[in-house]
């Protein structure tokens, strides 16, 4: 493991995937999420073949993805009377080396979260931590102050990544 450390603000799909990737390349990291308990929120999203390739590398293969969605064979435009108007193959059916998946966003998020816990351990995920401020220390490292139910907590790392979503500010 590298001596470098990373704080990831946000335990969504992006933050968890980043955490798994950093761990895979030997960088120590922790994820800080504002909500106390993650819930499977959202509806359907599509995971494009290049994203699926990366998920496979992180240990999230068909055995997990097919519990939260289905491989997509084609995109189709169907008329009001049910007639086929146009279709186009997707994923491995279109010549990619990996499939495209249509998944339930919330269930996929939870599968990613469980994979994160299995690989990095519960000590690398901090729920109920809302980022309030940050500062650059004299040594160049970054400190982030989080609001928690028991008061303010400050953590320091070599790098901070904000993956907390567009509506978090």
If you average pLDDT over residues 20-39, what whole number do you get?
A: 97
If you average pLDDT over residues 24-29, what whole number do you get?
A: 97
**Tens digits of per-residue pLDDT, 111-145?**
999 999 999 999 999 999 999 999 999 999 999 99
Correct CATH for 1-37+127-169 of 3.30.910.10, 3.40.50.2300, 3.20.20.70, 3.50.50.60: 3.50.50.60
Please state the pTM of the whole predicted model: 0.92
**Tens digits of per-residue pLDDT, 15-25?**
999 999 999 99
**Of residues 54, 70, 61, the one with CA closest to residue 103:** 70
pLDDT interval class at 167 (50, 70, 90): confident
> For residue 111, what pLDDT is reported?
98
pLDDT above 70 for 89: yes
Instruction: Locate the domains of the chain by residue range.
Output: 1-37+127-169, 39-108
> For residue 169, what pLDDT is reported?
61
> For residue 21, what pLDDT is reported?
98
> For residue 165, what pLDDT is reported?
85
If you average pLDDT over residues 151-156, what whole number do you get?
A: 98
**Tens digits of per-residue pLDDT, 55-83?**
999 999 999 999 999 999 999 999 999 99
Percentage of the chain lying above the pLDDT 70 cut = 98
């Amino acid at each position: 493991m590298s001596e470098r450390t990373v704080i990831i603000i946000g335990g969504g799909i992006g933050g968890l995937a980043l955490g798994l990737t950093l761990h895979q390349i030997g960088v120590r990291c922790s994820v800080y999420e504002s909500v106390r308990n993650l819930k499977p929120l959202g509806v359907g999203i599509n995971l494009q073949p290049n994203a699926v390739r990366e998920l496979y590398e992180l240990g999230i293969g068909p055995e997990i993805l097919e519990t939260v969605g289905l491989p997509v064979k084609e995109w189709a435009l169907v008329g009001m009377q049910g007639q086929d108007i146009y279709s186009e193959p997707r994923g491995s059916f279109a010549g990619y080396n990996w499939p495209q998946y249509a998944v339930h966003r919330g269930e996929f998020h939870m599968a990613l979260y469980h994979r994160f816990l299995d690989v990095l351990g519960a000590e690398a995920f901090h729920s109920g931590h809302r980022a309030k401020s940050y500062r650059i220390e004299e040594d160049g490292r970054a400190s982030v102050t989080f609001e928690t139910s028991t008061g303010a907590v400050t953590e320091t790392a070599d790098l901070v990544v904000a993956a907390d979503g567009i509506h978090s500010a």
